[in-house]
Amino acid sequence: MTSDGTSLRTADMEPDELLESGQARSPMPPPTRPQTSAPAAAAVAPAKPGLSVRLEKLRAFYGSSEQVKGIDLDFHANEVTAIIGPSGCGKSTMVRCINRMHEEIPGARAEGRVLLDELDVYDSSVDVVAVRRAIGMVFQKPNPFPTMSIFDNVASGLRLSSRRSGDLRPKVETALRGAGLWDEVSERLDEPGAGLSGGQQQRLCIARSLAVNPEVILMDEPCSALDPIATLKIEELIAELKQSVTIVIVTHNMQQAARVADRTAFMLSGELVEVGPTQEIFTNPTDPRTEEYVTGKFG
């Protein structure tokens, strides 16, 4: 697929173009996928598949200390992959390497390859800005832009990353519906995003990353600052979103991994111990360390 090579290399690509090229190079047949019986969110979610991500010998460093020690891992397209493991095992660092946010930290660097579909995002010809548009990210703490309204927050990704910004309303509505937030905020799009509740703010942040039509969304403990009900909503949302994007979710909460993930990877001290279907990891792990962790013997 040669189109892959060029599509990420244009710094000022429109989200639309990204979407189109995403369809063009998609390894799966586009729109005709089975609709779930469920909510409006799924019905309006952009009908386009996510892309697979493959890590090859990924190593990440902070200065001279190695936090991720050579990981090979596949994230299947349109699946939810959960990363579990004790604090400080390198889960977040690994995930931040996927959209090259790791290198934003002074002194941090990464080695190895991260293949988005078939394109190495660390290739010297790849524009880091285009990588981040294709691979969105949701952070631990909800962080809507404090100076912007709800509408502007969702539109921010489109405005910040492209020069022309046409009519943003339909895109904003689609993104908010996709994040299951439209019904709650459609009457007050001009109010500050920071005025929403924590759970709503986090869904606003998800809408914000959906608006630029990414192929992959990375979630770094997206529910750890939320109450159980808001957490439940986000988890339902994740199940719907995987129809249009590939999701990687870092979580401390093993029940959460069991609820939302198709596959689960267990990490320990910067190494990948085991990866497999979630069911298997939790009920019949092959590695004794995985078993000890999921049964609560440590971590």
Given the DSSP bridges, would you call strands 263-268 and 271-277 parallel, antiparallel or unpaired? antiparallel
Site membership for other proteins, residue 136 (CB under 8 A): yes
Q: How far apart are CA 192 and CA 52, in angstroms?
A: 35
Q: How far apart are CA 156 and CA 135, in angstroms?
A: 16
Question: Which of 248/273 has CB closer to other proteins?
Answer: 248
- The helix or strand, by DSSP H or E, that contains position 132, with its residue range, turns out to be helix 128-134
Site membership for other proteins, residue 99 (CB under 8 A): yes
Residue in 19, 47, 148, 168 binding other proteins, rule: CB under 8 A: 148
Question: Which of 5/192 has CB closer to other proteins?
Answer: 192
**Among the residue ranges 203-211, 238-246, 247-255, 276-284, the one whose residues contact other proteins (CB under 8 A):** 203-211
Site membership for other proteins, residue 33 (CB under 8 A): no
Residues 219-278 close enough to bind other proteins by CB under 8 A: none
The dihedral through the CA atoms of 150, 197, 176, 154 has a sign that is: positive
To the nearest 10°, report the CA torsion of 15, 18, 23, 24: 150
- The helix or strand, by DSSP H or E, that contains position 16, with its residue range, turns out to be helix 15-24
**Among the residue ranges 36-44, 84-92, 146-154, 243-251, the one whose residues contact other proteins (CB under 8 A):** 146-154
Q: Minimum distance between the CB of residue 286 and other proteins, rounded to whole angstroms?
A: 34
The DSSP 8-state label assigned to residue 36 in this structure reads P
Residues that bind other proteins (CB under 8 A): 11, 99, 101, 104, 106, 129-134, 136-137, 139, 141, 143, 145-149, 156-157, 159-161, 192, 194-195, 205, 208-209, 212
